[in-house]
Amino acid sequence: MSKLIDNILQFSSYRANSDKLPIEEIDISKTLEESLSLIETSIQSKNIKIEVNKSNNLIPNINANKISILRMFNNLLSNAIKFSDRDSTIFISFASDNNHLRVEIKDEGTGISNDKIAQLFLPFKHSGVGTDGEKGTGLGLSIVKEIVEGNNGKIGIESELGKGTSVKISFDKGAA
């Protein structure tokens, strides 16, 4: 119950304050490392391997609110872990062009049917049970969408039942 209340409060707080959050130039690669450190226990509990691919090893900084990007990674990685089997792999990749930084988080989990993908970003619409019985609140992806869009980004999801899910995010690049 406390997790639900916490998520509702964070969702409401983000919506109310998203235009007031400090935007700064952040190293998104280091922010990912911080997130992985915070959720290390969950990763280890399912013996999940994390593979990070930095296409050219030079991941550009983005203009964003660091705390919200950390929360974005925490939510997305927690979902990937929740819906992945033990001993599976989660792939994280970064790629960039002249104007955008793209981040993809792909798991080998249970996947999502096409008819449910459109509802994933709606509050309380999707909160399935994880592969080890983990429960959620149905707010995580709603929060992620608010965070991504609040930081001038775009998000999309591709999934196939029994094969896993891929979350793709694109941010504008640039110096603060």
Please, which residues have CB within 8 angstroms of residue 124's CB and are 6 or more apart in sequence?
A: 137, 138, 139
- For 87, other C-beta atoms within 10 Å of its C-beta total 10
Please state the pTM of the whole predicted model.
0.85
Is residue 37 pLDDT above 90, yes or no? yes
Query: Beta-strand (E) ranges in the chain?
Result: 24-26, 49-54, 62-64, 89-96, 100-106, 153-160, 164-172
What integer pLDDT is reported at residue 176 of this predicted model?
Answer: 40
What is the Cβ-side half-sphere exposure of residue 124, based on CA atoms within 13 angstroms? 3
Contact 103, 93 (CB under 8 A): yes
Q: How far apart are the first and last CA of the chain?
A: 39
The winner for highest mean pLDDT among 9-13, 14-18, 74-78 is 74-78
Categorize the per-residue pLDDT at 20 as very low, low, confident or very high, splitting at 50, 70 and 90: low
Classify residue 128 as exposed, middle or buried by CB count within 10 Å of its CB (0-12, 13-18, 19+).
middle
What letter does residue 7 receive in the DSSP assignment?
Answer: H
% pLDDT > 90, the chain: 58
Contact 105, 80 (CB under 8 A): yes
Residue 155 tokens read as 């998000």
Q: For residue 162, what is the enclosing H or E element?
A: none
SS3 helix, strand, coil % of the chain, rounded to 5? 40, 25, 35
Please, which residues have CB within 8 angstroms of residue 5's CB and are 6 or more apart in sequence?
A: none
Q: Which residue range(s) make up the domain with 67?
A: 2-172
Backbone torsion region of residue 20, taken as left when φ is above 0, otherwise alpha when ψ lies between -120 and 50, otherwise beta: alpha
Give the total number of structural domains in the chain: 1
Mean pLDDT score across all residues of the chain = 84
pLDDT, tens digit, 9 for 90 and up, residues 73-112? 999 999 999 999 999 999 999 998 888 999 999 999 999 8
The CATH number of residue 58's host domain is: 3.30.565.10
Going by their DSSP bridges, the two strands 100-106 and 89-96 should be labelled as: antiparallel
Residue 176 tokens read as 């603060």
